[in-house]
A and B are shown apart, each in its own frame.
Chain A
Amino acid sequence: MIEAEGVSLRRGGRFVVDGVSVAVRPGTLTAVLGPNGAGKSSLVRLLSGEASPDFGKVALDGRDLKRWNRHDLARRRAVLSQSVSLTFPLSVAEVVMLGRAPHRARSTRVEDMAAAEASLKAADVWHLAGRAYPTLSGGERQRVQFARVLAQLEDGGQSGTRYLILDEPTSSLDIRHQARLLGLAGGLARKGWGVLAVLHDANLAAIHADTVVLLRDGRVLASGDPWSVMTPDSLTATFDHPVLVSHRDDLDRPLITPAAGTAG
């Protein structure tokens, strides 16, 4: 479990994350929802160990993130960032092989290639493997980066829970690939991985998440299973915009509809 206890992060004289406690539990897909500037990406940086909290602490499997060896940590948790651009023409296969960097000391090249191949296929970009990354569309790039973080965590014999942190993983994807990526993330969670995804689409969160966290102004407004958290009142308060919640008969999940825009 990645557990943040009362973490705060100060940037430019104000707290962008303010006393937040969240957990990324093995076997669970947690979705984080919140308006722009709510501190979602800062929370990702704290949970991944990129930033150290000014107050509170973050631990992975009981050990403070600061005390993890960086290679060990890189084999246990991976982060899909919002967008990754490349100036030089690495091929898609080479980009995904970069995900194997933390394993290089202990795995063979054939094992690395097998892991990369499996990840490319899982992310539905196997057919792009020979293409130059800078020539891909935004959505294709996002899927290739997803393949790279999958390859980073792929590790046949090693023990220990894997944690996957996704920062707006579906922002450039079409409907089919949105469903496919989050379906895959959910499948990994059921396999025992801990998955946290920052999402903008409340309905994707409602469909795929086991736990939903509502974040606003750096604080947690509510957290729990979708039905208990995604109420009209809490969503309206989170987004500062009237939101309707109905019932999806096909999936027994909440269906979220924003009210029509208000002018002025």
Chain B
Amino acid sequence: MTSLPMPNSAWKGRSRHAGILTLLSLLSVVAVIASLGVGASAISPGTVLRTLLHTADASPRDAAIVLHLRLPRTLLGFGLGAALAVSGAVMQGLFRNPLADPGLIGVSAGGAMAAVAVIVLGVPALLAGTVGLLALPLAAFAGSLCTTLAIQRIASDDGRTDVSTLLLAGIAINAIAGAVTGFLIFGSDDRQLRDITFWSMGSLGGATWTTVLGLAPFALGAVFAAGRWAGVLDALLLGEREAGLLGFDVEPAKRRIVIATAAAVGAGVAAAGVIGFVGLVVPHLVRLMAGAGHRLLLPASALLGGTLMLCADMLARTVVIPAELPIGLVTALLGGPFFLWLLIRQRRSFPP
């Protein structure tokens, strides 16, 4: 700490930052261990740890469940939660709008539309083997990226992106993607309809090491890239003009941020379907705890997003044993009312 006389807690100390990150890291570890143990077949935390550390005495059955079923699912859930929360935090900063969310600019809807098209048009059946298995994730990813690029193109004029046009274009794209998805559902048979429904509500049920490896580069890439953009994101809170006057090259930064976020969210949609509210609620929670500065907001959102996603997945897995709920239902059911409460609270403390 410094010796300067500071009024109130004007300068949020580094030690406070470290404390919050330590606390969230501990919570993450607890959530990971719990997530490996909880399920139709309960496994004690001790057995989970022994299995992870390769000490002998866990039963082969427990070891198989932990390492081959629950570990990929847990890693996918944590990575997805972290990627969605960081993407949400970044978008909110970029658009200076606490309601901004990757879903809002059409990234999720575009991905969903492409994936539904693949299911209904039966592309996986046409392509044999690994390529067939990857068709759905690849389509969702491609759909997300194309949507984002299209929206960027519509909203950008002469190298400058107008944020309100971007958001409005997102609304239009969401409507179009929703309508196209609806039409495709009319043309689907019962089995396809079940696939579509389950997938569009989001689920970590399809987690394998392949899906984990598919998401990992995008999730890690987005989280670490976002950390490097903390400075420009902070400046952007003052507005694009002020950020430019402070010496930041705003337009290229915005482009890179939007594309990285689209890639992360697209990869997430591909791996687990549409899971809402994580990107919206987690950054809000962190801001309540730790303020709006991005140097802390981004890593804290990643940790809390991963933790909450695992909690939601544990609920989804245990509420209706032996079946499981789509995780998107859980996040929407918990996240929706919470978000409404935040809105009301915010309107009271900072009237517009």
Interface set of A (CB-CB < 8 Å, partner B)? 48, 50, 70-71, 73-75, 78-79, 81, 84-95, 98-99, 101-102, 104, 110, 113-114, 117, 126-127, 129-131, 134-135, 152
Q: Is the Cβ of A101 less than 8 Å from the Cβ of B292?
A: no
Distance of A90 from chain B, by nearest CB (Å): 5
Q: Is the Cβ of A88 less than 8 Å from the Cβ of B98?
A: yes
Task: Kindly state whether residue B15 has any CB partner on chain A within 8 Å.
Answer: no
Interface of B is mostly: loop
Q: Is the Cβ of B237 less than 8 Å from the Cβ of A93?
A: no
A181, B123: Cα distance in complex, Å: 69
Which B265-297 residues sit within 8 Å CB-CB of chain A? 287, 291-293
Q: Is the Cβ of B4 less than 8 Å from the Cβ of A87?
A: no
Q: A104-B231, A113-B2 are in contact. List 10 more A-B contacts (CB 8 A).
A: A48-B245, A70-B248, A81-B241, A84-B239, A88-B237, A89-B287, A90-B237, A113-B4, A129-B6, A131-B8
Residue from A87, A88, A98, A134 within 8 A of B246 (CB atoms)? A98
Distance of A211 from chain B, by nearest CB (Å): 24
Q: Is the Cβ of A102 less than 8 Å from the Cβ of B246?
A: yes
A113, B12: Cα distance in complex, Å: 11
Interface of A is mostly: helix
Q: Is the Cβ of A89 less than 8 Å from the Cβ of B7?
A: no
Interface size on B, residues (CB 8 A): 34
Distance of A141 from chain B, by nearest CB (Å): 11
Which B231-271 residues sit within 8 Å CB-CB of chain A? 231, 234-235, 237-239, 241-242, 244-249
Q: Is the Cβ of A90 less than 8 Å from the Cβ of B291?
A: yes
B 107-127 to A, binary, CB cutoff 8 A, 1 in contact else 0: 000000000000000000000
Which B289-310 residues sit within 8 Å CB-CB of chain A? 291-293
Q: Hey, which chain B residues are within 8 Å of A131, CB to CB?
A: 8
- Residue contacts A-B, CB under 8 angstroms, 5 given: A74-B245, A79-B245, A87-B96, A98-B235, A101-B234
Task: Kindly state whether residue B42 has any CB partner on chain A within 8 Å.
Answer: no
Residue from B97, B239, B247 within 8 A of A74 (CB atoms)? B247
Residue from B234, B245, B249, B291 within 8 A of A78 (CB atoms)? B245
A45, B4: Cα distance in complex, Å: 37
Q: Which residue of B lies closest to A132 (CB)?
A: B350
Q: Hey, which chain B residues are within 8 Å of A113, CB to CB?
A: 2, 4, 11
